[in-house]
A and B are shown apart, each in its own frame.
Chain A
């Protein structure tokens, strides 16, 4: 994707976001305690600023000379990592913090190119135990113990 195409995509996203935000802002209820500007006054101005910047960006990209885009990050790899992180958030309440974190660390290391084997398993277990000890035992943070193991 060229730099201009990226800018157009960004401009369109800005317009959509500005529109949705504006619609929510004008719908805000007015309280009896409210001032003349109201809770939606400043948000409407922000939406207008965002929309104006989006329009300028699109117009400039359409009339300007095409530019080469900088190298793009690997979206597929990033999506995979994000999926692992989301899975962790969903799994913590069920399997508990130490196990979920160990599994997350092992899975990320494997996904990032580490070789599977005893070393990776030891790393995953080590992270789970070390972080559990530091956060739960030392700092006293009540991380979920996991409903699977009778915790909350």
Chain B
């Protein structure tokens, strides 16, 4: 746990949480966008502080999102939407500071619980994956892509289009087997391929700004109710059952790729109401209605990393950005990460612990600056964010070509949003494309071109069967919904 003794790592954890709270408090800046904005700056950093920085942003953003959710009924992040139901009611009753305190403490409980699950679950899962052959890795990549079925937000077909587009992007550059240039159009800048980091910044940050420029000004927060009040011991005891429900649901939803914090928060809210002795109080300012979703979405910040670290499959936008952070430093999440860079994995665990402590400490003092930031005129915020994007992207390779490429990806992301296409399958296609193609072809080279290798390898067969079942189930569900 050298993270605790390295001042630079501690500083990046605090800095990441600070950035995350401020970004999360701004409606329109999701955790993944807040992370994507920092991604280019991690290039010049050591791997551990870089990964800790990004993970800490995710932790901070979950609390930051609850600030406007409670005070102005505008969730700063999607996963804070459930918090508005009772949090805003509490604020209307003059208990906004108390609601913020409950959000902060419940988030801390959730974050620490999620961290324990992450540490306990990830390594055993990764150990199993260590025995994988190239055929099994191919099966794993196909299973990862079949997660699209649950990420596609109601349309598997659109998810497939996004995934195919991501796979197309992944094939740009030199062929992994023969070294032949592919789809580079004679451009030397494309010979090395399109870096996932550029795709992520374009899809998440630039596309969001292109949408935001046409949106009205964000709602402003009045100065009242800005004094945070931590819950008393009696209130903490009262909230424990709701927090336990949030932790349970957050764990399950976090390790399930595609589910994410938003679903976890709403499910936790519903279950807390269902199991409550006083369900009628929900929606009218029940503290449990804040505690359950806030603990659930903070559990997800850690448990969403289980499939990423153990299998290399990002199950959420934020996990995908974190994957980008690993790739920037030449590290590939998955079973081999535990062998090749165990210090980074343990550094991340330690960093997440520091980040949760930082969330508590900063949460106590950050409210006033966060509200000041939310109340800044939107035109200046949008301009500053875009200045940060174009500067950060240039800084990666000192390339204006990269800045242009990010703008192109941003336009693609904008139109995908317009057409209702989920972007996460595209990111999955980009990050899993190389693994899929190289292992497919390596398997065939080893088997002398015999495709039966994918059936004869029991792990590959199991993973491919799971992928077919998952996709088939989603197709059936979509067909039934549209029938």
A residues near B (Cβ < 8 Å) are 3, 6-7, 9-10, 14, 17-18, 21, 24-25, 28-31, 33-43, 46-47, 49-50, 52-54, 56-57, 60, 64, 70, 72-78, 80-82, 85-86, 88-89, 92-93, 97, 101, 104-106, 108-114, 123, 127, 131, 135, 139, 141-144
Q: In angstroms, how far is the closest chain B Cβ from the Cβ of A11? A: 8
Q: Are A131 and B400 in contact (CB under 8 A)?
A: no
Q: Are A39 and B178 in contact (CB under 8 A)?
A: yes
CA gap between A105 and B165 in the complex, in Å? 32
Q: Are A127 and B182 in contact (CB under 8 A)?
A: no
Quick one: closest B residue to A100, CB to CB? B390
CA gap between A109 and B419 in the complex, in Å? 28
CA gap between A92 and B390 in the complex, in Å? 11
When the two chains form the complex, which single residue of A25, A29, A33, A105 contacts B384, counting CB atoms closer than 8 Å?
A105
Contacts of A42 in B (CB 8 A): 171, 436-437, 440-441
Contacts of B377 in A (CB 8 A): 113-114
For A36, A85, A113, which residue has the most chain B Cβ atoms within 10 angstroms? A85
Q: Are A82 and B411 in contact (CB under 8 A)?
A: yes
Q: Are A57 and B157 in contact (CB under 8 A)?
A: yes
Do A101 and B449 form a contact, CB below 8 Å, given A9-B419, A35-B177, A141-B395?
no
Q: In angstroms, how far is the closest chain A Cβ from the Cβ of B212? A: 8
Counting from the closest, the 9 A-B pairs by CB-CB distance are: A74-B214, A112-B379, A31-B178, A50-B164, A77-B214, A39-B175, A114-B379, A108-B383, A34-B178
Of residues 386 to 414 in B, which have CB atoms within 8 Å of A's CB atoms? Answer: 386-388, 390-391, 394-395, 398, 400, 403-404, 407, 410-411, 414
Q: Are B380 and A109 in contact (CB under 8 A)?
A: yes
CA gap between A108 and B398 in the complex, in Å? 23
Contacts of B168 in A (CB 8 A): 17, 21, 43, 46, 50
With A6-B419, A112-B382 already in contact, 5 other A-B pairs whose C-beta atoms are closer than 8 Å: A31-B178, A33-B179, A64-B482, A78-B214, A127-B384
Q: Are B390 and A101 in contact (CB under 8 A)?
A: yes
Q: In angstroms, how far is the closest chain A Cβ from the Cβ of B162? A: 9
28 inter-chain pairs at a CB distance below 8 angstroms, sorted by A residue, are A6-B419, A28-B175, A30-B180, A33-B177, A33-B178, A33-B179, A35-B441, A36-B444, A37-B177, A39-B175, A41-B441, A47-B164, A49-B160, A53-B158, A70-B420, A76-B214, A78-B210, A93-B400, A104-B386, A105-B386, A106-B383, A111-B379, A112-B378, A112-B382, A114-B379, A131-B388, A135-B395, A141-B398
CA gap between A54 and B161 in the complex, in Å? 7
Contacts of A53 in B (CB 8 A): 157-158, 160-161, 164
When the two chains form the complex, which single residue of A35, A82, A108 contacts B382, counting CB atoms closer than 8 Å?
A108
CA gap between A105 and B380 in the complex, in Å? 8
Of residues 137 to 169 in B, which have CB atoms within 8 Å of A's CB atoms? Answer: 157-158, 160-161, 163-165, 167-168
When the two chains form the complex, which single residue of B44, B177, B380, B444 contacts A114, counting CB atoms closer than 8 Å?
B380
Q: Are A73 and B440 in contact (CB under 8 A)?
A: no
When the two chains form the complex, which single residue of B157, B183, B394, B420 contacts A143, counting CB atoms closer than 8 Å?
B394
Q: Are A50 and B161 in contact (CB under 8 A)?
A: yes
CA gap between A28 and B441 in the complex, in Å? 17
When the two chains form the complex, which single residue of A41, A89, A108 contacts B400, counting CB atoms closer than 8 Å?
A89
Q: Is the interface of A mostly helix, strand, loop or mixed?
A: helix
Q: Are B386 and A85 in contact (CB under 8 A)?
A: yes
Q: In angstroms, how far is the closest chain B Cβ from the Cβ of A51? A: 9
B residues near A (Cβ < 8 Å) are 44, 157-158, 160-161, 163-165, 167-168, 171, 175, 177-180, 182-183, 209-211, 213-215, 217, 377-380, 382-384, 386-388, 390-391, 394-395, 398, 400, 403-404, 407, 410-411, 414, 417-421, 436-437, 440-441, 444-445, 449, 482
Total number of residue pairs linking A and B with CB closer than 8 Å: 194
Q: In angstroms, how far is the closest chain B Cβ from the Cβ of A1? A: 9
Quick one: closest B residue to A24, CB to CB? B183
Q: In angstroms, how far is the closest chain A Cβ from the Cβ of B472? A: 15
Q: Are B182 and A39 in contact (CB under 8 A)?
A: yes
Q: Are A123 and B386 in contact (CB under 8 A)?
A: no
Q: Are B387 and A37 in contact (CB under 8 A)?
A: no
Contacts of B449 in A (CB 8 A): 36
CA gap between A50 and B44 in the complex, in Å? 37
Q: In angstroms, how far is the closest chain A Cβ from the Cβ of B322? A: 23
Q: Are B387 and A104 in contact (CB under 8 A)?
A: yes
Q: In angstroms, how far is the closest chain B Cβ from the Cβ of A81? A: 5
Contacts of A21 in B (CB 8 A): 168, 183
Quick one: closest B residue to A70, CB to CB? B420
Q: Are A92 and B180 in contact (CB under 8 A)?
A: no
Do A142 and B161 form a contact, CB below 8 Å, given A36-B444, A112-B378, A113-B379?
no
Q: Are A73 and B379 in contact (CB under 8 A)?
A: no
Contacts of B387 in A (CB 8 A): 101, 104-105, 127, 131
Contacts of B215 in A (CB 8 A): 73
When the two chains form the complex, which single residue of A46, A77, A82 contacts B167, counting CB atoms closer than 8 Å?
A46
Q: Are B407 and A89 in contact (CB under 8 A)?
A: yes
Q: Are B171 and A46 in contact (CB under 8 A)?
A: yes
Quick one: closest B residue to A84, CB to CB? B386
Quick one: closest B residue to A144, CB to CB? B400
Q: In angstroms, how far is the closest chain A Cβ from the Cβ of B63? A: 27
Q: Are B398 and A43 in contact (CB under 8 A)?
A: no
Quick one: closest B residue to A43, CB to CB? B171
When the two chains form the complex, which single residue of B388, B411, B444, B482 contacts A37, counting CB atoms closer than 8 Å?
B444
Do A34 and B177 form a contact, CB below 8 Å, given A6-B419, A111-B213, A135-B391?
yes
Q: Are A14 and B482 in contact (CB under 8 A)?
A: no
When the two chains form the complex, which single residue of B179, B217, B414 contacts A113, counting CB atoms closer than 8 Å?
B217
Q: In angstroms, how far is the closest chain B Cβ from the Cβ of A84? A: 9
Quick one: closest B residue to A119, CB to CB? B380
